[in-house]
Chain A
Amino acid sequence: MHRFAKPSVFLKLADTLMPWMIAITVITGGTGLYLGLFWSPADYQQGDTVRIMYIHVPTAWMGLFCYVGMAICGAMSLIWKHPLADIAARATAPVGAMFTALCLITGSLWGEPMWGTWWVWDARLTSMLILLFLYLGYMALVNAFDDPERGSKAGSALALVGVVNVPIVKFSVDWWNTLHQPASVARMDGPSIDPSMLWPLMLMAVAFTGYYFIILAIRVRSELNERRIRALQLSGLFEQGDGTTSGSALYDQGHNAGAGK
């Protein structure tokens, strides 16, 4: 476990896996889109609008998946002080928020032809909206500190609190929804799903997961590089060349000033 905590090990691993992840994402994404848009049958009631499902449902899964992933990273950072876990949790948040937002947008686009309105306070959509709020809260908290490490730690704690709350929120929203709306509203997914619809759905889910891991690897790498740059700036090395280039004089160089010159 801790072997992968070393950034160098992680980066090497990510480099090796990257082409494979890209290949899987492109192939499953392409096939999934083709199957979803052309091969699978149109719904006899909804017509072609049902094809929105092939984006909508996997993004909903990914929204939840990313949040749980964020909470797991948070737990790893709190329990094992795993240095990469914080960075991974931080890198996951915007991706998860984007999936959740996409889910809400496609849900709204799908709702218009189905229900004649852009937004219904449907239990699933409302839960996803609250999930989006949880993501936004996490991102705001993580970026609200001058010390990025402190922000990441606070975020990890929040993600854990949030993940305990997600089932409670889901349960209470379901309860609220059945109270206020009779069950006549059409459900977005039928009780049983035809294999011709299941295949593109699954392929799209795999593609989105692959996309998530690609973005995660890129974001973690750039965050690590950013830390290295900050460390270099702290070291005062940039002042050696010409005094005009850098704002590094703004940093408190501390007792490390002059080291290595």
Chain B
Amino acid sequence: MNAFMAILRRDMRLALRQGADSVMVVAFFIVTTTLFPFGVGPEANILARIASGVIWVSALLAAMLSLERVFQTDYEDGTLELLTLSPVPLELVVLGKVATHWLTTGLPLIVAAPLMAVMLNMSTDGFGVLIVAMLIGTPTLSLIGAIGAALILGARRGGVLVSLLVLPLYIPVLIFGAGAVEAALLGMPVQAHLQIMGAILLLSLALAPFAAAHAVRQAVE
């Protein structure tokens, strides 16, 4: 656990020093969301109808945008092979990096999401569920994304590649995340949606660190 905290502390410090990553992710999220009214027209009821889906799709894309950096810089400067050689289990190191990614990407998106919901004219009934669903869903995005980020180490055009690998795997989170908000807006129970999202989170928490650590070992071999 100490090792996990050590990685988390250092990576958070790196992320904050290196500057504007989180800001950029949130800006991307806001700009992407803003594109939809231009695409489908500014009618309030249409926007309200698609708001939950638009917010989730934009969040997915924004979370994916910063994935490449999860391991890339450490891979390039040799840190990753030293982490692999440290006495600490690599899975724990990966988990620390996933936590950093979530804190610098998922969390700011959750903060920004209600703002976009207001701008898309979403009914306030859905706000609570939107935030809860994002709290459960975005860690899953970071966990699955870490696998993709580890697989592309050393590949050509890694950034584009990671989106092709990861986005299809994000579809269940999108379906249940947007579904939960929609159900809440229609006054239907949301429990089932959230429970399934929780199950997906637990499953990825159990499997993703091993898959990503395996991919990292391959990359530094």
Query: Is the beta-carbon distance between B157 and A130 smaller than 8 angstroms?
Result: no
Residues of B within 8 A of A164 (CB): 207
Residues of A within 8 A of B155 (CB): 141, 144-145, 151, 154
Q: Say yes or no: is B175 at the interface (Cβ < 8 Å to chain A).
A: yes
Q: How many angstroms between the C-alpha atoms of A158 and B167 in the bound complex? A: 13
Query: Is the beta-carbon distance between A145 and B154 smaller than 8 angstroms?
Result: yes
- Mostly, the A contact residues are helix
- In the complex formed, the residue of B with least CB distance to A78 is B214
Cβ proximity bits B49-90 to A, threshold 8 Å, 1 near / 0 not: 000000000000000000000000000000000000000000
Q: Say yes or no: is B15 at the interface (Cβ < 8 Å to chain A).
A: no
Interface size class of B (residues with CB under 8 A): 20 to 34
Residues of A within 8 A of B211 (CB): 157, 160-161
Cβ proximity bits A153-187 to B, threshold 8 Å, 1 near / 0 not: 11001101110110011011101100100000000
Question: Chain A: how many interface residues by the 8 Å CB criterion?
Answer: 30
Residues of B within 8 A of A150 (CB): 154, 218
- In the complex formed, the residue of A with least CB distance to B166 is A137
Query: Is the beta-carbon distance between B176 and A172 smaller than 8 angstroms?
Result: yes
- In the complex formed, the residue of A with least CB distance to B155 is A144
Residues of B within 8 A of A133 (CB): 164, 167-168
Cβ proximity bits B156-180 to A, threshold 8 Å, 1 near / 0 not: 1110010011011101100110010
Give the residue of A130, A146, A179 whose beta carbon is less than 8 angstroms from that of B171.
A130
Residues of B within 8 A of A154 (CB): 151-152, 155, 215, 218
Query: Is the beta-carbon distance between B175 and A175 smaller than 8 angstroms?
Result: yes
With known contacts A144-B157, A145-B154, A157–B218 Cβ distance under 8 A: yes
Q: How many angstroms between the C-alpha atoms of A75 and B215 in the bound complex? A: 14
Give the residue of B147, B154, B157, B175 whose beta carbon is less than 8 angstroms from that of A173.
B175
Residues of A within 8 A of B203 (CB): 168
With known contacts A154-B218, A161-B211, A141–B171 Cβ distance under 8 A: no
- In the complex formed, the residue of B with least CB distance to A146 is B156
| CB of A176, distance to nearest CB on chain B (Å) | 5
Give the residue of B164, B207, B215 whose beta carbon is less than 8 angstroms from that of A137.
B164
- In the complex formed, the residue of B with least CB distance to A162 is B169
Q: How many angstroms between the C-alpha atoms of A161 and B146 in the bound complex? A: 12
Q: Say yes or no: is A136 at the interface (Cβ < 8 Å to chain B).
A: yes
Q: Say yes or no: is B200 at the interface (Cβ < 8 Å to chain A).
A: yes
| CB of B29, distance to nearest CB on chain A (Å) | 23
Q: How many angstroms between the C-alpha atoms of A137 and B168 in the bound complex? A: 9
Residues of A within 8 A of B167 (CB): 133
With known contacts A140-B161, A145-B154, A168–B218 Cβ distance under 8 A: no
| CB of A156, distance to nearest CB on chain B (Å) | 9
Give the residue of B176, B179, B215 whose beta carbon is less than 8 angstroms from that of A157.
B215
With known contacts A133-B168, A144-B161, A161-B211, A168–B200 Cβ distance under 8 A: yes
Cβ proximity bits A107-144 to B, threshold 8 Å, 1 near / 0 not: 00000000000000000000000100110110011001
| CB of A78, distance to nearest CB on chain B (Å) | 8
Residues of B within 8 A of A144 (CB): 152, 155-158, 161
Give the residue of A78, A169, A176 whose beta carbon is less than 8 angstroms from that of B179.
A176
Query: Is the beta-carbon distance between B161 and A141 smaller than 8 angstroms?
Result: yes
Residues of A within 8 A of B156 (CB): 144-146
Residues of B within 8 A of A172 (CB): 171-172, 175-176, 196
Residues of B within 8 A of A176 (CB): 175, 179
Which residues of A approach B to under 8 Å, CB–CB? 78, 130, 133-134, 136-137, 140-141, 144-146, 150-151, 153-154, 157-158, 160-162, 164-165, 168-169, 171-173, 175-176, 179
A-B contact pairs, 8 of them (CB 8 A): A134-B168, A136-B164, A137-B168, A140-B164, A151-B155, A154-B155, A157-B218, A179-B179
7 more CB-based (< 8 A) A-B contacts, given A137-B165, A168-B203, A176-B179 = A140-B165, A141-B155, A144-B152, A145-B156, A146-B156, A154-B215, A172-B172
